[in-house]
Structure 1
Amino acid sequence: MARTTYQDLLDAGVHFGHLTRKWDPKMSQYIFMERNGIHIIDLNKTLTKLEEASAAIKQIVKSGRKVLFVATKKQAKDIVAEQAKSVNMPFVTERWLGGMLTNFATVRKSIKKMSNIDKMTKDGTYDVLSKKEKLMIQRERIKLETLLGGISDLNRLPAALFLIDVKKEHIAVTEALKLNIPTFAMVDTNSDPSSIDFPIPANDDATKSISLITDIIIKAIQEGLDERKREKEDEAEKEAAAAKAKIDSGEAAKEEAAAPRRERVVTAATAEPAAETAAAETATAEAEAPSEAAADQPKSESAE
């Protein structure tokens, strides 16, 4: 099922490119025509590439990994931050710090520093500081939150990057290439798509265009999260069923092992009265035998 339609892309202005004099020749395969000095993007190819990107990003999320959203341009930052938060994905919308991926260990130290400041405010350490120290810590906390707040929960390198405007985010693209991290991006007619794994030819300046493309990617991510959740539930049910079957089989084995024992107990209980009866009969016979012999003896004497 198509995630969007040709008309939706048209209404959002996804087809509008840059001025012809600002184009990148590598984007020629995605350009439909030129009109009034502006390149028009081929929306058929946009639809195809968008489907490919959505399917790929869905599989990444389904495997339990994170996608980092990068959009530092003014018209995109608020849209991307809001959308990324809705699916609990990390994002960078203020400024891409050099080495954010290639020097991730240092970035993690800064994030840890931010969490330590939060602990200070909770355990009372912050209250005993002087007014000047409090002000300095507050300023540092705000700065760290602005730059790194969106990746505070990112404990390891992301599995993929989704970018708005490849030209503006070229440092992020370079770092992703060095670390072999897949990249998904909106690529306008003035950008180079060759460095992007999943380019989506689209207008990366209009808010409607950015909102539509980002929303489609977010829906694909949500689908991946839902499928992962269902798979986990199915696995849990299977494990519970297997555990129950194991318990049942164990009880059955115990019953089977106990059956011969019960039979032996019953046999022994039945055998004891029979043995007692046989012994009693033997004793009676033995008692009667001498008395009969005595009865026969006087008769023989009188006969004589």
Structure 2
Amino acid sequence: MQDMPTSPDAPVADAAIDNWVDRYAPAFSRPFLRLSRADRPIGTWLLLLPCWWGLALAILYDQSPRWFDLWIVVGCGIGAFLMRGAGCTWNDITDRNIDMQVARTRSRPIPSGQVSVEAAVAWMVIQALLAAIILFTFNKAAIGLGFLSLLLVTVYPFAKRFTWWPQVFLGLAFNWGALLVWTAHAGTLNSPAILLYAGGIAWTLFYDTIYAHQDTDDDALIGVKSTARLFGDKSPQWLRRFLMATVGLIGLAALFSALPNASVLALVIALGGPWAMGWHMAWQLRGLDINNPAKMHQLFLANRDAGIIPLVFFAAALLA
């Protein structure tokens, strides 16, 4: 094994070249921002987009936009950044010995020696407390859902040790915002939010299986489980199933959100969101090459755009 970089100027191996952290952040802050994956914003997008889906469909459902919804939009953006950072920090604390054995992750701040475990714990707590300040501006039901999500965040890093389906646990955690934000707007949890949550989980199974194919060789050597290893050469067939589940469940969420009060035009536009998202996911499948880690990383990153597509349609439906 090659020597680990310890300088704060040493980038993480799988971060984009010339990312904003490496270029602009003060040297003392870079290891902590890398610990939060601030140099790789895709995770923040994947956590944030289900929140915004939930808000858009909640407004479509009750046709009652409020000024407070603008704060929900902004608060979700800040909160997603903070909670993704806290979650990644917790993940790196629990996985520090595993990360040392994986080529793609051994340059991360803890295994490379840039950040101590004690400092990482303190950084995790700071991020979580800042996110809690935002959470406490929401209603009581949403606050309760926010605290329940901590159970999922806590368990997720350990899932790959006891199940071949750790991506399910990631999906449960990453899409919780759809439930929380729907409730923050409506004050209660309605059935379309549950369907949206389930559709988001299916989407997570899709993109995180793609992501996990980057590490299958190292994971096999150290005994880490994943759907990528479980499916192997059958991954394309499973990914098609996840695609269909994503489109079907989010489509049902849009349907039942629009039916009570929205116009026919708004219903049609809202249903166009998951339909168009499905075509983007199908495009990803056409480029799939499970033996090419660089290509799999590229396809994984493309899911930011896949998730933005239904958001655009849902927002347009609100204007119809």
Regarding TM over 0.5, the answer is no
Name the structure where helix makes up a greater proportion of residues: 2
Greater radius of gyration (CA): 1
Higher relative contact order (CA 8 A, sep 6+): 1
Tell me the TM-score normalized by structure 2.
Answer: 0.20
Name the structure where strand makes up a greater proportion of residues: 1
